[in-house]
Chain A
Amino acid sequence: MNNENNETFKNAPNMSLMFTMYSTTFGNGAFQLLPPPTGNMEDGFPSIPYLSLEAIIYQQQSSNPLSAPSTVLAGASAGQQVIGSTQTANDATGIPRYIIGNQAK
C-alpha cells in the first residue's frame, strides 16, 4: 500500500523555494496549484509544498535591505570611502571585501 503522503520528502520543494522562488514583489513564485484529481483513489491525504517563514525572511532581507544603497555621485573618482555594515565581509586585515545588498552610508 502506498504511503507516499507520510513521507517527508514531500517537503523537498522547500529547497528551491528558499533560494529563488519568493520575492516581496511577486510573492510565492513557486506556488504549485494542486493538479485536478486523476480519478484514481488515493490512499492518503493530498499535501502542498511547505514554504518556510525562514525562506521568505531570507529573501526579504537579501532582496530588500532596510537601508537604501548609498547614492553614487557621478564624477567622484577619488577619495576615501567608508564601508561597513552588518552585511560586509572583511579580510584578515579588516578591509571590507564583499558587500551583500547594500553599503553603509
Chain B
Amino acid sequence: MAKGFKNEERYKIHNQYFEGGVSIDPKIGVANSFYQSQGLDFRSVPSQLSVLPGARTVATNLQDTITAMVQDVNGVRYGVGDGGGFYRINTSNVVSKIAQLDSNGSAGLYYNQVTDQIYIPSQTTVSLYGQVTSGNPGNPTFRSAQFGKSASTAPGCVNLFDLSSGYYAGLSRNNSQSITTGITSTSQVTTNATETYALKTTYAENVVEGCYFSPDIEPFYSIAVYIAAKGTGNWTLTLHDSVNNQLAAVTITNANLTSGGYNEFVFGKQIRALVNAAQTGNNSSYHFHLTSTVADGTVGTINESDFTSTDFLLFAYRLLQTNNGWHPTAFFNSASGSFLCVGNGPYLSTYNFGNDTNPLNSMWNRHALTLNLGHEVCGLTTNNQYLVIATEKRSTTANRNFQEGALYFWDGTTAQPNFKIDIPMGAPYGVYTFNNVTYFCVGGSLYAWSGGQTVIKVRKLAYQNTDYLGAVDSTIINPNMLTSRYSLLMIGYPSTTTNVKINYGVWSWGTVELSFPNSYGYSYSLANNIQNNNTGGITNLKIGSVYNFVDTMYINWSYTDAGGITRYGVDVVDNFSTPATSFNWQSLIYDGTVIYKTKIGTRYKIKFNSFPAGYTLTPYYILDRGTPVYATASPKVGDTDILMEVTPGRFKEVQWGFTGTSSGATQPLIISGITMEIEPIPDEVDLRKDNQS
C-alpha cells in the first residue's frame, strides 16, 4: 500500500487493537502487539484495554509459603507450605494452620475423594489428614509420618544366597516375607536364627566376615540385627559398598543393646544406594560388618558360625531427601491400575491406596520407575495415556547450576518409561498440561510438547539469555506454578530468582477464541505490587504456587522485608476483587522504519470510555530511549480522553504509554484508542548528524 502524505501532513500512529499481546522485540511483533503491559485485559475484547481485577491478600498468618493446594468435595481448600505447615482455607478464605509436618513440605499434595484423605509428602515421609468431610465431621485426624520407614522383604535382603541357583533364594533369615502388612517395626518380625556367630573386635574384608545383601529399596534408614547375646562390649555396624567404601558406621553402647532381639543401628542420615543391582552373592552390592569392643557377644544366624547368614532387617526411608526438596504428586490412571504418583528423586514412587494403615512395599512402590540417576523429579502431569515426569539435575550450590533435564513418558504398564525427551537446555520447570499440550519453563522461556518428536519453544518469558547481567542467575520455578484461568494458561513466574530484572507475578498465555492469536502479557502482580527480588530492601521474594479454582486464583508468596522480617501470605483474585491498584501499558518503539530521520512528535491522545471514579491515568512518551516525560494531570471523572502535548518533540525513535492506579474503584477503566501524532517534516534533510538540531 502506498505510503506518504494523503489529506494531511501529520501521521497518526494509532493503537486501537491489542490482540497481539506483548512482543519480545521493542520494535517489531505480530500485528497489534505492544511492548509491555501490566494488569490489563487485552484479550476478552481485543479492541480495547480494560483493567483486570487485582490480587488482594486474604491471609498473612502463615509460617511458610504454600507450594501445593487441593480442594475437598465440600469446597474447603488445603495448602502445604515449604516449611512443613499444613493449612486449611475455608470457604470464606480464612486460613488456619492445621498441623506441622515432620519436615519441610515438598510441593506435593493429593486428596483422594473415595477415602476422603489428604496425602501430604514431606521430605522423607508421607502424612495423612482425614477424613476431611465424612467420618468424624469437623474433626479429621492428622497422622504425622503415616508412611515412614519400612523394611525390605525382598530375597536380596531376607534370603540367604543359594550357590546352586546363583540367587538369593536360600533359607529366610526371618518371617518378614509372610507378614501381610508393611514392616515398620522390628516387633512385627520373628527371627529364624537358631545358630550364632561370635563377634570379633575387628573385621577383615573377606567373604566370611561380611553380611552381604542386595537391596530393593533405598535410601537406607537403618539395619536391625538380631543379637543373641550382647556380651559386655559396645557394638559397631559398618556399612560398605561392593568396593568397600564405608557408607556409614554406627555404634550402640552395650547398655542400649538387647539380647534376644533386634537392635536397630540407625544411620542418622539417608544412605543412598543402588537398588535391584546384580545379585552375585559375595560380590553383592552391599555388605555390613559387626564388631564389638569386647569379643564376647553373639549375633543370631541361620547357619552355625556363618556371619553371612546373620538375621537382619534393612529399613529404608519412604521418600529420599532430594536436593530440590520436592516430591510432586499426581493421580494417574493406567491400564495396569490407578496410582498416586510421587516424584521421589531419581525414581517415580506409586501407591495403589492398598493399605493406608501400613502398606506393603509392593503397595507403596518406592521405585516404580528408575530415571536418570542424579536427576530429581521436578514436576508431574499427564498427557493422553502418559504420565509426564519432568526431571532436573539440581546442584547443592545455587550459583553453580546444572544445565540438564528430561521429560519421561510412562503409560503405567512398563518397568521403564516408554520414552524420554532430553531437555539439554536446562531444568523443565512447572510442567503443566493445558488443552492436552504440556507446557513447561526452561531458562527463561516457555516450551510446549504435544505429541511430536521435539519440544517447541513457544516464546520468551523473562529472558533469552542473561548476558551482561553481572550476577549469577539462579531462577527456580516450583512444581505448581502453572494453572489455567478462564481458558488461558497462567504462569506464575518465577518462584525464586537472583535475577533482579525478572518481574515476579502471574503471566498469561493464550487466546479467547481461535481467530485471535495466542498472546502473552503480565496479568497479575502480587497484591503488594512487589515485583523484584533484592530490590528496595526486599529479599527472598518467592512465589510458592499458583492455583485456580474456577473464578478464584490463589497466589502464594513470601518475602523478607527491609527490617529482616519474613512475611508470608496468600493472595486471591476472584469475582470480588477490585481493579488492579497499579497498571501500565507501553507501545512498541516507533521510528517509521527510517530511524535515521528526524521526526517531530506533536500530540499524544488516549481515548477511553467515561473515566470512572477511583482512577488515575498518566500518559507519557519517551524520545530516543531517554527519560519518560509524564503528563502533569490525570483525567477527571467523566472525561473521555486525555491529550498531551509532545514538547520538545524532535526524535528519531518515540515510544509512548501510560501508568495508572486505582483506589476504591469497582469497575474497570476501558481504553479504546491510543494515538501519537507526528510531523514527518519531509522538507528536512534526512541524513544529518544526530546532534544537529
Judge if A1 is at the interface, Cβ distance under 8 Å. yes
- Whole-angstrom CA separation of A59 from B454 in the bound complex: 11
Chain A contacts for B14, CB-based, 8 A: 3, 6, 44
- B-contact 0/1 string along A32-69, CB 8 Å cutoff: 00100111111111111110111011011101111000
The one of B31, B419, B458, B587 that contacts A6, using a Cβ cutoff of 8 Å: B31
Chain B contacts for A40, CB-based, 8 A: 3-4, 593-594
Q: Which of B1-59 contact A (CB under 8 A)?
A: 1-4, 6-8, 11-17, 19-20, 27-33
Q: Do A6 and B451 have beta carbons less than 8 Å apart?
A: no
> What distance in Å separates the Cβ of A1 from its nearest Cβ neighbour in chain B?
6
Nearest A residue to B680 via CB reads: A41
**Main secondary structure on chain B at its contact with chain A?**
loop
The one of A37, A43, A61 that contacts B11, using a Cβ cutoff of 8 Å: A43
- Whole-angstrom CA separation of A45 from B16 in the bound complex: 13
Size class of A's contact patch?
Answer: 35 or more
Given A11-B517, A61-B450, also A43-B12 (CB < 8 A): yes
Nearest A residue to B17 via CB reads: A6
Total of A-B residue pairs, C-beta within 8 Å: 121
Q: Do B594 and A60 have beta carbons less than 8 Å apart?
A: no
Nearest A residue to B588 via CB reads: A45
Q: Do A24 and B453 have beta carbons less than 8 Å apart?
A: yes
Given A41-B593, A43-B12, A50-B517, also A57-B437 (CB < 8 A): yes
Q: Which of A54-105 contact B (CB under 8 A)?
A: 54, 56-57, 59-61, 63-66
Given A1-B6, A53-B518, also A43-B13 (CB < 8 A): yes
Q: Which of B432-460 contact A (CB under 8 A)?
A: 437, 448, 450-454, 456, 458
Q: Do B437 and A53 have beta carbons less than 8 Å apart?
A: yes
Q: Do B28 and A44 have beta carbons less than 8 Å apart?
A: no
Given A41-B11, A42-B592, A50-B517, also A60-B452 (CB < 8 A): yes
Chain B contacts for A34, CB-based, 8 A: 28
Judge if B554 is at the interface, Cβ distance under 8 Å. no
- Whole-angstrom CA separation of A14 from B588 in the bound complex: 22
Given A7-B31, A50-B31, A53-B458, also A43-B15 (CB < 8 A): no
Chain B contacts for A2, CB-based, 8 A: 1-3, 6
Nearest A residue to B12 via CB reads: A1
Q: Do B517 and A42 have beta carbons less than 8 Å apart?
A: no
Chain A contacts for B453, CB-based, 8 A: 24, 60, 64
Judge if B597 is at the interface, Cβ distance under 8 Å. yes
Chain B contacts for A54, CB-based, 8 A: 514, 518
Judge if B590 is at the interface, Cβ distance under 8 Å. yes
Judge if A5 is at the interface, Cβ distance under 8 Å. yes
The one of A42, A47, A57 that contacts B451, using a Cβ cutoff of 8 Å: A57
Chain A contacts for B17, CB-based, 8 A: 6, 8
Of the listed residues B12, B518, B592, the one surrounded by the most CB atoms of chain A closer than 10 A to its CB is B592
Q: Do B588 and A56 have beta carbons less than 8 Å apart?
A: no
**Main secondary structure on chain A at its contact with chain B?**
loop
Q: Which of B300-338 contact A (CB under 8 A)?
A: none
Chain A contacts for B29, CB-based, 8 A: 45, 47-48
Q: Do B592 and A43 have beta carbons less than 8 Å apart?
A: yes
Q: Do A52 and B517 have beta carbons less than 8 Å apart?
A: yes
Chain B contacts for A1, CB-based, 8 A: 6-8, 11-12
Q: Which of A1-26 contact B (CB under 8 A)?
A: 1-8, 10-11, 24
Q: Do A57 and B30 have beta carbons less than 8 Å apart?
A: no
Chain B contacts for A6, CB-based, 8 A: 14-17, 31-32
Chain B contacts for A11, CB-based, 8 A: 30-31, 517
Chain B contacts for A7, CB-based, 8 A: 31
Chain A contacts for B590, CB-based, 8 A: 45
- Whole-angstrom CA separation of A2 from B33 in the bound complex: 18
Of the listed residues B2, B12, B13, B587, the one surrounded by the most CB atoms of chain A closer than 10 A to its CB is B13
Given A6-B16, A50-B517, also A45-B27 (CB < 8 A): yes
- A-contact 0/1 string along B517-542, CB 8 Å cutoff: 11000000000000000000000000
- Whole-angstrom CA separation of A56 from B30 in the bound complex: 17
Q: Do A56 and B456 have beta carbons less than 8 Å apart?
A: yes
Of the listed residues A7, A8, A61, the one surrounded by the most CB atoms of chain B closer than 10 A to its CB is A8
Q: Do B593 and A47 have beta carbons less than 8 Å apart?
A: no
Of the listed residues B30, B452, B587, the one surrounded by the most CB atoms of chain A closer than 10 A to its CB is B452
Q: Do B680 and A5 have beta carbons less than 8 Å apart?
A: no
- Whole-angstrom CA separation of A6 from B448 in the bound complex: 29
Q: Do B448 and A57 have beta carbons less than 8 Å apart?
A: yes
Given A1-B6, A6-B14, A53-B458, also A46-B452 (CB < 8 A): no
Nearest A residue to B35 via CB reads: A45
Chain A contacts for B448, CB-based, 8 A: 53, 57
- Whole-angstrom CA separation of A67 from B426 in the bound complex: 26
Given A1-B12, A42-B3, A46-B28, also A66-B451 (CB < 8 A): yes
> What distance in Å separates the Cβ of B671 from its nearest Cβ neighbour in chain A?
15
> What distance in Å separates the Cβ of A22 from its nearest Cβ neighbour in chain B?
10
- Whole-angstrom CA separation of A56 from B17 in the bound complex: 25
> What distance in Å separates the Cβ of A51 from its nearest Cβ neighbour in chain B?
9
The one of A8, A24, A43, A63 that contacts B3, using a Cβ cutoff of 8 Å: A43
Chain A contacts for B16, CB-based, 8 A: 6
> What distance in Å separates the Cβ of A12 from its nearest Cβ neighbour in chain B?
10
Chain A contacts for B7, CB-based, 8 A: 1
Chain B contacts for A8, CB-based, 8 A: 17, 19, 31-32
> What distance in Å separates the Cβ of B358 from its nearest Cβ neighbour in chain A?
39
Chain B contacts for A53, CB-based, 8 A: 437, 448, 456, 458, 518
Nearest B residue to A24 via CB reads: B454
Q: Do B450 and A48 have beta carbons less than 8 Å apart?
A: no
Q: Do A64 and B3 have beta carbons less than 8 Å apart?
A: no
Q: Do A49 and B30 have beta carbons less than 8 Å apart?
A: yes
Chain B contacts for A42, CB-based, 8 A: 3, 592-594
Nearest A residue to B5 via CB reads: A1
Chain B contacts for A43, CB-based, 8 A: 3, 11-13, 592
> What distance in Å separates the Cβ of A81 from its nearest Cβ neighbour in chain B?
22
The one of A3, A4, A41, A66 that contacts B592, using a Cβ cutoff of 8 Å: A41
Nearest B residue to A2 via CB reads: B1
Nearest B residue to A34 via CB reads: B28
- Whole-angstrom CA separation of A80 from B377 in the bound complex: 43
Chain A contacts for B1, CB-based, 8 A: 2, 4
The one of B11, B518, B594, B599 that contacts A52, using a Cβ cutoff of 8 Å: B518
A-B contacts, 25 of them at CB < 8 A, read A1-B6, A1-B11, A2-B1, A6-B15, A8-B32, A40-B593, A41-B3, A41-B593, A41-B599, A42-B592, A42-B593, A43-B3, A43-B11, A45-B27, A45-B587, A46-B27, A50-B20, A53-B458, A54-B514, A57-B437, A60-B453, A60-B454, A60-B456, A61-B452, A64-B453
Q: A38-B3, A52-B517, A64-B452 are in contact. List 13 more A-B contacts (CB 8 A).
A: A2-B2, A2-B6, A8-B31, A40-B593, A43-B3, A45-B13, A45-B27, A53-B458, A54-B514, A59-B452, A60-B453, A65-B451, A66-B451
Taking Cβ atoms with an 8 Å cutoff, the residues of B that contact A are 1-4, 6-8, 11-17, 19-20, 27-33, 419, 437, 448, 450-454, 456, 458, 514, 517-518, 587-588, 590, 592-594, 597, 599, 680
Give the 5 A-B CB pairs with smallest separation, nearest first. Answer: A60-B452, A37-B593, A10-B31, A41-B592, A43-B11
